[in-house]
Chains A and B, each alone.
Chain A
Amino acid sequence: MKVLVPVKRVIDYNVKIRVKPDGSGVETQNVKMSMNPFDEISIEEAVRMKEKGVAEEVIAVSMGPQQCQETLRTALAMGADRGIHVKTDDVLEPLAVAKMLKAIAEKEQPQMIIVGKQAIDDDCNQTGQMTAALLGWSQATFASVIELGEGTAKVTREIDGGLETVDIKLPAVVTSDLRLNEPRYASLPNIMKAKKKPIEEMDPASLGVDTTPRVKTLKVSEPPKRQGGVKVESVQELVSKLVNEAKVI
């Protein structure tokens, strides 16, 4: 089977995010970008499926500006077989991404799409669910274990208060959670080989998708600064503060 994995180029998780002075968004000039960590996990899972012989081909898809090719190369260096770059400088909302994924899935016919549960830049947590809905496929979100059966998959989901195991029919969309696996570091020979793997370029129009944003951003601002704490002398004082000042008990 084929596995499709979307990979998003986001601000590196090590970078301290700064809001643009005009409040229109966050600063991305001169900021280190890398693959969304949940997408790394998705790629790792797909590559492991391939290494186990249950998947034949892993296709990585990235949508966005020219530099997304670097993100795709990372995916290829980790073991994906080929890349698809939907090139656009537009701002992409989850719905647009989901529609494009649907178009690509209809063409490529993968049995599974592994989507990061969210991207660490906008934290939307929508793309996987929307893609499944648009395709009419089964979905299993927040996966921490994926076991493949015959045309089915058993997915362990991380939910509030515990783990839930669901059986789903393929084709399906699965979204990866943090504990699904620990992504590998690409090896030097594989980085060199990645250079030779094909990346197909297309644009939203050729997929028949209108990417016009449906949401208007009014303002982006920094979270309020945390207030300094106080030291209390005794448990009594703590309790009294919690009752009288914080009013939480």
Chain B
Amino acid sequence: MSDYNAPIDEMLFVMEEVAGLGDLVQMERFGELSPELVAAVLEEAGKLAGGVVAPLNRQGDVEGARLENGVVRTPTGFREAYRQFVEGGWNGVPFPVEHGGQGLPWLVSTALSEMWASANLSFSLCPLLTQGAIDLLQAHGSEAQKEMFLPRMISGEWTGTMNLTEPQAGSDVGALRTRAERNGDHYLIRGQKIFITYGEHDFTDNIIHMVLARTPDAPPGIRGISLFVVPKVLVESDGRLGARNDVRVASLEHKLGIHASPTCVMSYGDDTGAVGYLIGEEGRGIEYMFTMMNNARLGVGLEGVAIAERAYQQAVAFARERIQGRDALSGDEAPVPIIRHPDVRRMLLSIRADTEATRALAYYVAAAMDRARGAQSDVERQRWQQRVDLLIPVVKAFSTDVGVDAASTALQVHGGMGFIEETGAAQHYRDARIAPIYEGTNGIQALDLLGRKTLRDKGAALQALIAEIEVDASAGIGSGNPHIRTIHERLGEAATALARAGRSLIERRQGADVLAGATPFLRLVGLATTGWLLGRGAVAAARLLDEGGDKQALFEAKLQTARFYAEQRLVMAEPLSRVVADAGATVADFAEEYF
């Protein structure tokens, strides 16, 4: 068993000094929001996350979700924790006040989501999926649909799901076959969906499924796909729950991790056909999905940060307690806690630096979403939206890869005990492993970054990012503080490497060698961007150190962690750019039959 303590000081630091919380609270639509109020919100959320949600994590892993006579039972305590979560008003954080939400910035919502995911990844998926469904209904639902579903989904009285995947349609959503036939004012849905997270559970009386399906005469591929809202229990015109809809869970998957999150095979229309209501227009389902994709991918990227944080906390606690070996330098005979060994410290610092780096990236992108939404001019809006679109696949893929690495390293810190389930380190490692897979595999993210976000605009968005990094790098190199100087020297080199890799891809434009460079390219963008944002934090930390105050240790640690990242991680930018530029050809040439 391990405890979770929300890293509130660090979160606030990143929000204020890296993401620009100060700018957001000035925006008119956030009313009287202040950094102090945000601090209070994080403080109280941290209590719920640490006191209620986190303690269920291990039991949830052991017990798992179970299917009994068509009913999914979540593990002991989950239902009650969900009730507390919803009663506390934590489900509706970023949504408009007029629909019963709290109207807070995505940045704040993002920090809170990190807490829930750190505390208990399986638990956190339910509200995450609900959030995605709310986004869709809000953006594209009719007034009547909004009225019928939104308030109770925002309050958390009902939850939401996303139904894309079918056995033959995973990364290629266009291959889906679920059918939707018009029947008066609604459609009848028939087909099977797989891997549906929280497709069935015992938290609430109703579940609102967002389902992609094909109308009979629709063209093949993604243009033939429409989006439907399919409630588990039909809702009468007066808002009361009516008949059970023709949708049921067929089975639950046995998984490597996130055992407490029910992953369902869903069967639509076994009898009469499931009643579904078309959202927007026919044939535009995929287009609509894209509007919630950024939020959903940010949410999953954050899972990488969250699990890294949790694994880090556990590893540090263990390293302070475990006595083994002697101090290599002092010559003292007394055995020491393993945190004294430089190699263990290296592991801990790696996890910490990677966690802080990906947190900075996720919060920066969340704030960029708020900035795009609250922009005063079209130019400003486009600028921020471009930044969001460029970095979303990076948040998703870079951070979730980091989550797996971090959980693995944290397990390593435990030695043999790490391999023993009771310790709990193994659960983080298993749980972390889903995030690079779902919500678009990391391979698909890399292709998105390469194709849609880089080649399509001939590197314009990328170039704008690199230019900003270069300005900060030049400024930092002139600093009198040796930490800041070193960080920005490495950053300048990374920016140069990134620019070179980008040019190489844009020049070649297509071919298997280009596609094979997508993943190392994403990693490179991730490194340079996180290094840049940690550098920004380091500059702020140095300033705050000079100003004094009672958080000296935090600032000192921020500076040193950023330097560690520059010296141990950013230096990989240059070799990575060579991988992007040169190494794709071998992959392209290697004959299929040689595998």
**Contact between A14 and B5 (Cβ–Cβ < 8 Å)?**
yes
Q: Which residue of A lies closest to B32 (CB)?
A: A195
A139 within 8 A of B: no
A80 within 8 A of B: no
A194 within 8 A of B: yes
A195 to B552, CA, bound (A): 28
A29 within 8 A of B: yes
A195 to B40, CA, bound (A): 9
Contacts of A133 in B (CB 8 A): none
**Contact between B47 and A191 (Cβ–Cβ < 8 Å)?**
no
Known: A73-B40, A74-B43, A192-B37. A185 touches B52 (CB 8 A): yes
The residues in A between 167 and 182 inclusive whose CB is less than 8 angstroms from any CB of B are none
Between B52, B89, B90, B554, the greatest number of chain A beta carbons within 10 A of the residue's beta carbon is seen for B89
A188 within 8 A of B: yes
B84 within 8 A of A: yes
Known: A30-B554, A185-B51. A191 touches B3 (CB 8 A): no
Contacts of B88 in A (CB 8 A): 185-188
A189 within 8 A of B: yes
A194 to B551, CA, bound (A): 26
The one of A29, A32, A74, A185 that contacts B40, using a Cβ cutoff of 8 Å: A74
A29 to B39, CA, bound (A): 19
Q: Which residue of A lies closest to B84 (CB)?
A: A185
**Contact between B89 and A187 (Cβ–Cβ < 8 Å)?**
yes
**Contact between A77 and B40 (Cβ–Cβ < 8 Å)?**
yes
Task: Tell me the smallest distance from the CB of A30 to a CB of chain B, in Å.
Answer: 4
A88 to B365, CA, bound (A): 41
**Contact between B89 and A30 (Cβ–Cβ < 8 Å)?**
no
Task: Tell me the smallest distance from the CB of B234 to a CB of chain A, in Å.
Answer: 30
Task: Tell me the smallest distance from the CB of B236 to a CB of chain A, in Å.
Answer: 29
The residues in A between 48 and 99 inclusive whose CB is less than 8 angstroms from any CB of B are 70, 73-74, 77
Task: Tell me the smallest distance from the CB of A62 to a CB of chain B, in Å.
Answer: 15
Q: Which residue of A lies closest to B87 (CB)?
A: A187
B550 within 8 A of A: yes
**Contact between A185 and B47 (Cβ–Cβ < 8 Å)?**
yes
Contacts of B93 in A (CB 8 A): 188
Contacts of A70 in B (CB 8 A): 39-40, 43
- Provide the B538-574 mask, 1 if CB < 8 A to any CB of A, else 0: 0000000000001111100000000000000000000
**Contact between A188 and B102 (Cβ–Cβ < 8 Å)?**
yes
Q: Which residue of B lies closest to A195 (CB)?
A: B37
The residues in B between 88 and 134 inclusive whose CB is less than 8 angstroms from any CB of A are 88-90, 93, 102
B41 within 8 A of A: yes
A137 to B100, CA, bound (A): 46
Q: Chain A, interface size: which category?
A: 10 to 19
A188 to B551, CA, bound (A): 27
The residues in A between 15 and 39 inclusive whose CB is less than 8 angstroms from any CB of B are 29-30, 32, 34
**Contact between B44 and A29 (Cβ–Cβ < 8 Å)?**
no
A55 to B87, CA, bound (A): 24
**Contact between B44 and A191 (Cβ–Cβ < 8 Å)?**
yes
Known: A29-B552, A30-B552. A188 touches B89 (CB 8 A): yes
Task: Tell me the smallest distance from the CB of A3 to a CB of chain B, in Å.
Answer: 22
Q: Which residue of A lies closest to B91 (CB)?
A: A188
Q: Which residue of B lies closest to A65 (CB)?
A: B550
Contacts of B265 in A (CB 8 A): none
Known: A188-B89, A195-B32. A14 touches B37 (CB 8 A): no
Between A29, A77, A192, the greatest number of chain B beta carbons within 10 A of the residue's beta carbon is seen for A192
A189 to B102, CA, bound (A): 7
Contacts of A34 in B (CB 8 A): 43
Q: Which residue of B lies closest to A28 (CB)?
A: B550
The one of B41, B51, B553, B554 that contacts A191, using a Cβ cutoff of 8 Å: B41
A191 to B48, CA, bound (A): 13
Contacts of A192 in B (CB 8 A): 37, 41, 102
The residues in B between 28 and 78 inclusive whose CB is less than 8 angstroms from any CB of A are 32, 34, 36-37, 39-41, 43-45, 47-48, 51-52
The residues in B between 14 and 38 inclusive whose CB is less than 8 angstroms from any CB of A are 32, 34, 36-37
A191 to B553, CA, bound (A): 29
Between B32, B43, B51, B84, the greatest number of chain A beta carbons within 10 A of the residue's beta carbon is seen for B43
**Contact between A194 and B5 (Cβ–Cβ < 8 Å)?**
no
- Provide the A179-207 mask, 1 if CB < 8 A to any CB of B, else 0: 00000011111011011100000000000
Q: Which residue of A lies closest to B39 (CB)?
A: A70
Contacts of A185 in B (CB 8 A): 44, 47-48, 51-52, 84, 88
Q: Which residue of A lies closest to B320 (CB)?
A: A16
Contacts of A32 in B (CB 8 A): 5
A196 to B51, CA, bound (A): 27
Q: Which residue of B lies closest to A190 (CB)?
A: B89
Q: Which residue of B lies closest to A77 (CB)?
A: B44
Given contacts A74-B43, A74-B44, A191-B41, 20 further A-B pairs with CB under 8 A are A30-B554, A32-B5, A34-B43, A70-B40, A73-B40, A77-B40, A77-B44, A185-B52, A186-B44, A186-B88, A187-B89, A188-B44, A188-B45, A188-B88, A188-B90, A191-B40, A195-B32, A195-B36, A195-B37, A195-B40
A-B CB proximity, top 6 nearest:
A188-B89, A30-B553, A187-B88, A186-B44, A185-B48, A187-B89
A residues at B contact (CB < 8 Å): 14, 29-30, 32, 34, 70, 73-74, 77, 185-189, 191-192, 194-196
21 contacts between A and B (CB under 8 A): A29-B553, A30-B550, A30-B551, A30-B554, A70-B40, A70-B43, A74-B44, A77-B40, A185-B51, A185-B52, A185-B88, A186-B47, A188-B44, A188-B89, A188-B90, A191-B37, A191-B44, A192-B102, A194-B40, A195-B32, A195-B34
B residues at A contact (CB < 8 Å): 3, 5, 32, 34, 36-37, 39-41, 43-45, 47-48, 51-52, 84, 87-90, 93, 102, 550-554
